[in-house]
Chains A and B, each alone.
Chain A
């Protein structure tokens, strides 16, 4: 780290010397005033245009070109800044120009709304304005709401079931796909394909399958004439089936990458010692891909927890259930969909925001746990 830092400084010095000489050359050609003038024109013009646009904004003008004016002003300002003839600060100016576009988008779309979100969750915000603080009121009401608690329970259940099933299936597929067989590439690709398609589209395709194909089949074999999606328990099962269908191929690919890193001499050594294929798998391969298992476990955990698209397209949360002595109509509604429906459908923005903050807290605990576990493993190794 330190040597890098020194190297950095050294280069900067050398570079400064270098630009000094090249600066001297330009002076000889054009003169210092021309250079500065070329940069000052866009610099000042940019500032002026930006201020003009802002004045229009603050005076409540409705002129439609004021937005374009502002953008043009900012761009002009940066052009002027870039052209400014300085030996000392050129590197700093380039740094600012390089960092600005992405950082600006990031702050406006993530950081500011995140801060506002934390703030709004303690108010009676309705999506447009707020009138008063409610403190932790939203959080307290939220935990008294049976339908929310049900969503929470359902989500935890969904996460646990999927974490186990997706990983077991993904790993089994990976073992199958690393066996020496000719058409293995085709199978890998076909298991992976569902992962390419968005949850909304495949949710509707599976809705068709459950409401027509499966319904027809259950009716003909068992005389059971109602769709899997109409009941909360079978609907939940349906979401799990679709989720595994979509996700197992992806997890499989990560396990394949892990399995191929197991050195072949270790496997040969175990074969010489007389280990069976099953023993080799459980005693040698599995411990050696422990870090991959951690990655995949947390990947499924996070993605199952955030599940939204399939949930919405497949059942949209419907299905009646009795929970804590209360009749609920959102039998298959998971947390992400509950947040969406609270805010958008029921128009209760501050409550939806409070639920989202809880959602965030749970996810950050999970992430910290993940970092902790992988660090511990690295220390052990």
Chain B
């Protein structure tokens, strides 16, 4: 019995290691090859021959200063767009969810139903009219919506709204209404009740929606590529990587360095908030 158990234990460990190697192998390749020159990589992609720090710094220099990629600007854009979008989604989403949840009128039910139903709509079906609407309305009102920060943040508020409201509404329903009654009796205004009583209780679901929205917005490619364009001044990281690869076909030393630069921020974040990220993504999937 004991012997059999250890045998299966060893087997499981072996399977585990094989799988982990398969999963982590691409990252390993990226890490070793950013230290090498293009000729070395083509000669043998899976080798540590010719790994030098000077190669890495050369690769980094040519990638970061490349005009198609302009890493710092793309990184800054991605960070700013993601941060502002998730913060505003949490703020406005919570407010909207609270109003929808605590008003049992025909209108609030209708708005909630529209939010839920819209979650089925795939991006592909709205993307073409979205761009033309943003172009035309922007021109008419004198507020540029394409190739601007506020335009893309506005779009993310619209697209992330439904899911945010859905998850937060589900949570607010479980918050006892007596809390709000008590606050109202004590003379608290409705907006005060929300910000002082309800919002502090919403921390766990807000963490969940923030992670879901953050991962999606940071990695999103199609919306920024359509709204910002590949040659525009404002570019997010995925769009910049795409533009860079498009202009340096087969320059694997540079492409892999660019890929590494795009991956590293996410991995660092994951190392710090591993539990929250994994939990948040799973929670979101189960609830929606």
> Would you call A352 and B128 a contact (CB within 8 A)?
yes
Q: Select the stretch in B53-61, B65-73, B176-184 that faces chain A.
A: B176-184
> Would you call B30 and A109 a contact (CB within 8 A)?
no
A99 and B194 CA atoms in complex are apart in Å by: 13
| Residues of B contacting A202 in the complex (Cβ-Cβ under 8 angstroms) | 26, 259
| Residues of A contacting B184 in the complex (Cβ-Cβ under 8 angstroms) | 11, 14-15, 18
A366 and B244 CA atoms in complex are apart in Å by: 37
Question: 1/0 per residue B236-268: CB within 8 Å of A?
Answer: 001001100100000010011001001100110
Question: 1/0 per residue B132-143: CB within 8 Å of A?
Answer: 110001001111
Q: Select the stretch in A141-149, A153-161, A247-255, A319-327 that faces chain B.
A: A247-255
> Which residues, 117 to 139 on B, are CB-close (under 8 Å) to A?
118, 120-133, 137
The answer to the question of A71 belonging to the interface, with a C-beta cut-off of 8 Å to chain B, is: yes
A187 and B123 CA atoms in complex are apart in Å by: 33
The answer to the question of B114 belonging to the interface, with a C-beta cut-off of 8 Å to chain A, is: yes
> Would you call B23 and A109 a contact (CB within 8 A)?
no
> Would you call B26 and A193 a contact (CB within 8 A)?
no
- Max count, chain A CB within 10 A of own CB: residue among B92, B125, B282: B125
Q: Write 11 A-B pairs (CB below 8 A) sorted by A numbering.
A: A7-B181, A99-B111, A108-B137, A108-B158, A109-B159, A110-B121, A114-B118, A117-B126, A187-B19, A195-B281, A359-B125
A191 and B21 CA atoms in complex are apart in Å by: 10
A205 and B162 CA atoms in complex are apart in Å by: 33
> Would you call B132 and A128 a contact (CB within 8 A)?
yes
Q: Select the stretch in A26-34, A61-69, A263-271 that faces chain B.
A: A61-69
Could you tell me the distance in whole angstroms from the C-beta of A153 to the nearest C-beta in chain B?
A: 18
8 Å CB contact of A70 from B118, B143, B263: B143
Instruction: Using known A-B contacts A14-B184, A98-B99, A254-B286, determine if residue A204 contacts B255 with beta carbons closer than 8 Å.
Output: yes
> Would you call B282 and A254 a contact (CB within 8 A)?
yes
The answer to the question of A197 belonging to the interface, with a C-beta cut-off of 8 Å to chain B, is: yes
**Overall SS of chain B's interface:** helix
Binding site for B on A (CB under 8 A): 1, 4-5, 7-8, 10-11, 14-15, 18-19, 22, 53, 56-57, 63-67, 70-71, 90-91, 94-95, 97-99, 101-103, 105-114, 116-117, 120, 127-128, 173, 176, 179, 181, 187-202, 204-206, 208-209, 212-213, 216, 245, 249-250, 253-254, 257, 292, 295, 299, 306, 308-309, 312-313, 336, 339-340, 343-344, 349, 352-353, 356-357, 359-360, 363-364, 367
A187 and B125 CA atoms in complex are apart in Å by: 38
Q: Chain A residue with minimal CB distance to B9? A: A181
Q: Chain B residue with minimal CB distance to A56? A: B142
> Would you call B126 and A109 a contact (CB within 8 A)?
yes
A4 and B109 CA atoms in complex are apart in Å by: 15
The answer to the question of B96 belonging to the interface, with a C-beta cut-off of 8 Å to chain A, is: yes
A1 and B155 CA atoms in complex are apart in Å by: 35
- Max count, chain B CB within 10 A of own CB: residue among A10, A105, A250: A105
Binding site for A on B (CB under 8 A): 9, 12-13, 15-16, 19-20, 22-24, 26-27, 29-30, 41-42, 44-46, 88-89, 92-93, 95-96, 98-100, 102-104, 111, 114-115, 118, 120-133, 137, 140-144, 154-155, 157-159, 161-162, 164-165, 177, 180-181, 184-185, 187, 189-191, 194, 215, 218-222, 226, 238, 241-242, 245, 252, 255-256, 259, 262-263, 266-267, 270, 274, 277-278, 281-282, 285-286
| Residues of A contacting B158 in the complex (Cβ-Cβ under 8 angstroms) | 105-110
- Max count, chain A CB within 10 A of own CB: residue among B41, B132, B159, B189: B132
Instruction: Using known A-B contacts A57-B141, A200-B241, determine if residue A205 contacts B104 with beta carbons closer than 8 Å.
Output: no
| Residues of B contacting A216 in the complex (Cβ-Cβ under 8 angstroms) | 44-45
Could you tell me the distance in whole angstroms from the C-beta of B38 to the nearest C-beta in chain A?
A: 11
| Residues of B contacting A344 in the complex (Cβ-Cβ under 8 angstroms) | 226
> Would you call B190 and A94 a contact (CB within 8 A)?
yes
A57 and B142 CA atoms in complex are apart in Å by: 8
Could you tell me the distance in whole angstroms from the C-beta of A155 to the nearest C-beta in chain B?
A: 12
Could you tell me the distance in whole angstroms from the C-beta of B124 to the nearest C-beta in chain A?
A: 4
> Would you call B45 and A212 a contact (CB within 8 A)?
yes
Could you tell me the distance in whole angstroms from the C-beta of A13 to the nearest C-beta in chain B?
A: 10
| Residues of B contacting A5 in the complex (Cβ-Cβ under 8 angstroms) | 104
> Would you call A257 and B142 a contact (CB within 8 A)?
no
> Would you call B278 and A367 a contact (CB within 8 A)?
no
| Residues of B contacting A176 in the complex (Cβ-Cβ under 8 angstroms) | 12, 15-16, 19
Q: Chain A residue with minimal CB distance to B98? A: A98
Could you tell me the distance in whole angstroms from the C-beta of A303 to the nearest C-beta in chain B?
A: 10
Could you tell me the distance in whole angstroms from the C-beta of A261 to the nearest C-beta in chain B?
A: 11
- Max count, chain B CB within 10 A of own CB: residue among A110, A181, A204: A110
6 nearest interchain CB pairs?
A109-B158, A198-B219, A67-B143, A67-B142, A113-B129, A105-B157
A357 and B121 CA atoms in complex are apart in Å by: 10
A336 and B92 CA atoms in complex are apart in Å by: 31
> Would you call A99 and B100 a contact (CB within 8 A)?
yes
8 Å CB contact of A99 from B95, B120, B191: B95
| Residues of A contacting B281 in the complex (Cβ-Cβ under 8 angstroms) | 195, 250, 253
Extra inter-chain contacts (18) besides given A98-B194, A195-B281, A216-B44, CB under 8 Å: A8-B103, A11-B181, A66-B142, A101-B157, A103-B96, A106-B115, A106-B118, A128-B132, A196-B270, A202-B259, A204-B255, A213-B29, A245-B22, A245-B26, A312-B221, A353-B125, A356-B128, A364-B120
- Max count, chain B CB within 10 A of own CB: residue among A57, A106, A249: A106
Instruction: Using known A-B contacts A187-B16, A200-B238, A363-B120, determine if residue A108 contacts B141 with beta carbons closer than 8 Å.
Output: no
Instruction: Using known A-B contacts A200-B241, A204-B259, determine if residue A22 contacts B29 with beta carbons closer than 8 Å.
Output: no
A295 and B282 CA atoms in complex are apart in Å by: 11
- Max count, chain B CB within 10 A of own CB: residue among A4, A101, A201, A254: A201
Could you tell me the distance in whole angstroms from the C-beta of A238 to the nearest C-beta in chain B?
A: 13
8 Å CB contact of B155 from A109, A204, A206, A299: A109
> Would you call B133 and A112 a contact (CB within 8 A)?
yes
| Residues of B contacting A64 in the complex (Cβ-Cβ under 8 angstroms) | 142
8 Å CB contact of A213 from B45, B142, B219, B274: B45
> Would you call A367 and B120 a contact (CB within 8 A)?
yes
> Would you call B241 and A201 a contact (CB within 8 A)?
yes
| Residues of B contacting A11 in the complex (Cβ-Cβ under 8 angstroms) | 180-181, 184
